[in-house]
Every structure is written in structure tokens, then in C-alpha cells.
């Protein structure tokens, strides 16, 4: 799978989220414990944009449109109404650059 540079490590605050795009896909990047994780930026419940409607709870992101919660590391649904997980993407940090496989 192709690897795309999407951001710099220092652009994301610890415990924060940054919206990026790679290969035409809207992606949410998260920084937790100095690690970078990536999921789809679109909630699987009704398509809300996560970076515009979210709250972070440690390693869980909540889509505040309808309250669905997802594990940032795995994309798994933690709390419905969503039943489908978020798509996750492999990330790699090289120096200060963040890459996502799409």
C-alpha cells in the first residue's frame, strides 16, 4: 500500500486530533502517549465529520453528533449507536514527518 506524508509530529498536541487527507480519504490523526494513530474522519453511524464534532476521552473519541464512541487504536465501537468500526490506517513517524498507508 502506498505511504503518504500527511503532517508533522509537532502539529498535533498530545491528546489531540488533526484532520488530514491521504489518497482522497478524510483521515483523523491522534497523538496519544507520544504515538500517532489514524482512523477515518467520518463516523460510521450517520456520516458526521469527527474532527468537527468530537470529544476525546483518553484513547476513545466520541462523535458528538449522536454519542457514538470509538477506540482510537483499533477503530472498534465502544458505545453505540454506531455498529460499524472506524477504518484504521497504519502510521509511521520518520523524523518529524507522519506517514499514513492508504
Per-residue confidence band for 53, with pLDDT thresholds at 50, 70 and 90 = confident
List the grid coordinates of 79.
458505545
Q: Tell me: the pLDDT tens digits for 15-49?
A: 999 999 998 999 999 999 999 999 999 999 999 99
Q: Is the pLDDT of residue 1 over 80?
A: no
* Average pLDDT value over all residues in the chain: 95
Q: Which pLDDT score is estimated for 52?
A: 87
Q: CATH classification of 3-101 is 2.102.10.10, yes or no?
A: yes
Instruction: Give the C-alpha separation, 10 to 22, whole Å.
Output: 19
Instruction: Give the C-alpha separation, 90 to 4, whole Å.
Output: 11
Per-residue confidence band for 61, with pLDDT thresholds at 50, 70 and 90 = very high
Q: Which pLDDT score is estimated for 70?
A: 98
CB-side exposure of 71: number of CA atoms within 13 Å?
A: 9
Pairing of strands 60-63, 69-71: antiparallel
Which contiguous run of DSSP H or E holds residue 30?
strand 25-32
Amino acid at each position: 500500500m502506498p505511504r503518504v506524508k500527511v503532517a508533522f509530529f509537532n502539529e498535533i498536541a498530545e491528546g489531540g486530533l488533526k484532520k488530514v487527507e491521504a489518497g482522497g480519504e478524510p483521515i483523523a490523526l491522534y497523538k496519544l502517549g507520544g504515538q500517532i494513530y489514524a482512523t477515518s474522519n467520518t463516523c460510521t453511524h450517520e456520516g458526521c465529520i469527527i474532527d468537527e464534532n468530537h470529544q476525546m476521552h483518553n484513547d476513545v473519541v466520541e462523535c458528538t453528533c449522536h454519542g457514538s464512541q470509538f477506540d482510537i487504536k483499533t477503530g472498534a465501537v465502544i458505545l453505540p449507536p454506531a455498529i460499524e468500526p472506524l477504518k484504521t490506517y497504519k502510521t509511521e513517524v520518520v523524523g518529524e514527518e507522519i506517514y499514513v498507508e492508504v
